[in-house]
């Protein structure tokens, strides 16, 4: 990998003998120009710059191992199950019989791990642009060893747009497990109306479902990209469903959006029954009741979803705070 990224790691200034705390390094994530989150570290397992993005794998004191891309926390060992269960299982459960899944991104392997829990699945394509992210996640994230070794998983290193364009086959579910859209980052084109309409939607089978992570969805952060992604998908698909939940390591509510040309209608009992019939093992976070409740927004976010007019395009994109530091080629 390339040069180390030093500026995101700071010292706490030494020992604090009065309260007994020991000196340690910290990772700071800049949320806004006047707001940062800090995570105490045991160690830095890996850091550097790939062709596409700055990457760090940290061992945090509170959340365990943490993957950081372009200065943004992507997932942590302690609570990644919340994010990935919410990303994967709703779409697969709403689909009547999902067999083939295409994951855009997902290099750490957690999305594939959750897909492979469904006994209906025959094949999973995981397409990530960054070989170096995949390589060190395979090395360090032990929870995903079995997923990477599964015969049903086909790992491809390529741009997801280019890979979908050249493939003739269609999929029951397509998943957007992408980094957040930041200026200078490699992913924002995969949130645009033209990509959804011209590339992605034609690759869905009859009754196919697309689901994507959609960024922060808190009462103060939901207008960054969440409402725009929701509105953009409303211009491409007949049925769109947004849902949110709190992710502790992100210190915010997070959003996802499902979209299909066929109704997304299940009640909590039907969802629980499908979980029982289809999923091997126990889910740690999601059940029918929590999934249904996650589609109910607070008053402010609900109104913003109704009022949003912005459509994501290459020339008129929205970004979360921050900037990709690596060169995108």
Q: Which residues are catalytic?
A: 177
Helix (H, G, I), strand (E, B) or coil at 22: coil
Distance in angstroms (rounded) separating the CA atoms of residues 302 and 320: 20
User: Does an H or E element contain 269, and which?
Assistant: helix 268-278
Please, what's the b/e burial string for 269-280 (b: 16 or more CB within 10 A of its CB; e: otherwise)?
Answer: eebbebbeebbe
Count other Cβ atoms within 10 Å, centred on residue 136: 22
Cβ-based neighbour number of residue 187 at 10 Å:
22
CA nearest to 53, candidates 134, 128, 130, 157: 130
Q: How many residues does the chain have?
A: 329
Instruction: Judge residue 261's burial from the number of C-beta atoms within 10 Å of its C-beta, 0-12 exposed, 13-18 middle, 19 or more buried.
Output: middle
């Amino acid at each position: 990998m390339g040069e180390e990224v030093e500026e995101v790691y700071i010292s706490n200034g030494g020992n604090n003998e009065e309260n007994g705390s020991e000196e340690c390094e910290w990772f700071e994530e800049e949320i806004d120009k006047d707001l940062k989150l800090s995570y105490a570290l045991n160690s830095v397992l890996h850091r550097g710059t790939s062709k596409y993005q700055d990457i760090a794998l940290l061992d945090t004191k509170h959340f365990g191992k943490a993957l950081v891309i372009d200065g943004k926390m992507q997932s942590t060992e302690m609570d990644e199950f919340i994010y990935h269960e919410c990303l994967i299982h709703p779409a697969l459960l709403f689909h009547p019989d999902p067999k083939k899944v295409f994951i855009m991104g997902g290099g750490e392997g957690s999305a594939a791990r959750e897909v492979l829990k469904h006994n209906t699945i025959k094949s999973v394509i995981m397409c990530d642009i960054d070989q170096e992210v995949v390589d060190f996640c395979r090395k360090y994230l032990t929870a995903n060893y079995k997923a990477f070794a599964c015969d049903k998983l086909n790992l491809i290193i390529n741009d997801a747009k280019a890979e979908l364009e050249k493939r003739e086959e269609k999929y029951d579910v397509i998943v957007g497990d992408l980094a957040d859209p930041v200026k200078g980052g490699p992913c924002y084109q995969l949130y645009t109306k033209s990509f959804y309409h011209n590339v992605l939607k034609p690759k869905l089978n009859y009754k196919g479902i697309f689901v994507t992570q959609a960024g922060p969805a808190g009462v103060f952060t939901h207008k960054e990209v969440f409402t725009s992604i929701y509105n953009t998908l409303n211009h491409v698909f007949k049925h769109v469903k947004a849902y949110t939940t709190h992710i502790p390591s992100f210190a915010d509510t997070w959003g996802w959006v499902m979209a299909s040309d066929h109704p997304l209608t299940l009640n909590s009992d039907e969802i629980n029954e499908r979980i029982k019939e289809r999923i091997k093992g126990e889910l740690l976070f999601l059940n029918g009741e929590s999934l249904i409740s996650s589609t109910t927004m607070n008053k402010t976010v609900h109104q913003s979803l109704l009022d949003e007019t912005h459509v994501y395009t290459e020339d008129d994109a929205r970004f979360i705070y921050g900037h990709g530091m690596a060169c995108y080629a």
